[in-house]
Amino acid sequence: VQDLFRAKFLSGYQVLVTAGPTREEIDPVRFISNRSSGRMGYAIAQAAQAAGAQVTLISGPVALSPLTGVQLVSVYSAQEMLAAVMTQVATVDIFIATAAVADYRPSQPLGHKFKKHEAHWQITLERTPDILATVASLPHPPFTVGFAAETDNLIEYARAKLQLKKLDMIVANPVGIAGIGFDSEENELSILWAEDSIELPRAAKTELAKQLLEVIIQRYQKSGR
């Protein structure tokens, strides 16, 4: 890994990374979101920059500092993240979707604060756009890498997502285990593509990011794009 990074093996490449959660507004003071800290995505953006790539990081709301040398686009909702991705994607070589995009949003966000007059409150939710699937189905998509966060059937569900969304690669990430995944410093990853897979055992997200980038660039070069 060290040698590849010293050789700036991503020089001349444009890499686009999504990171963090999105927030979907219920009313002006409330939102739906999730436990993503953004750490994995920021670590990948940082590693890609260190490897010489020109990196754009499209980030939902996180408590992390901007990265030196990485262009940061801050967004709020899934819809905003999609719009930001689509304005960047045409010139991108590699797209890495680490964001934990909210799958549902309130169908009718309220323009005023909802008052607690009732014992129950029902909110109707609708699906958000799938940013990764949208990118992968473009006529000339970049090399597209997704993540799959799963509590069970990790590899099976990840491989299904690889095929369904027509991705070049998917990174399976167990969640719901103490100390790894969402909102933690460490992770363990399985990287899957059509022909094969590789396991990256538990390590700091910063270390895993470098190892993952190495695998991505090898596959990207073999893909001949």
Smallest gap from residue 163 Cβ to Ca ion (A): 17
* Choices 24-32, 61-69, 125-133, 193-201; region in contact with ligand CTP by CB under 6 A: 125-133
* Choices 4-12, 50-58, 147-155, 194-202; region in contact with ligand CTP by CB under 6 A: 147-155
The H-assigned helical ranges of 137-204 are 154-164
Considering just the CA atoms, what is the radius of gyration of the chain in Å? 18
> With binding defined as CB under 6 A, does residue 92 bind ligand CTP?
no
Q: Which residues contact 129 (CB under 8 A, 6 or more apart)?
A: 78, 79, 82
Residue with smaller CB distance to ligand CTP, 68 or 124? 124
130 carries a ligand binding annotation: yes
CA distance linking residue 53 with residue 63, whole number of Å: 24
CA distance linking residue 162 with residue 195, whole number of Å: 11
166 carries a ligand binding annotation: no
The answer to whether residue 34 is catalytic is: yes
Match 């569900």 to its residue by tokens: 157
199 torsion bin: left (phi>0), alpha (psi -120 to 50), beta (else): beta
113 carries a ligand binding annotation: yes
Residue with smaller CB distance to ligand CTP, 29 or 86? 86
> With binding defined as CB under 6 A, does residue 24 bind ligand CTP?
no
CA distance linking residue 104 with residue 124, whole number of Å: 9
- The residues in 37-66 that bind ligand CTP, with binding defined as CB under 6 A, are none
> With binding defined as CB under 5 A, does residue 103 bind Ca ion?
yes
Contacting residues toward ligand CTP, per CB under 6 A: 18, 78, 97, 99, 101, 103, 128-132, 146-149, 161
- Where in the sequence numbering do the catalytic residues fall? 34
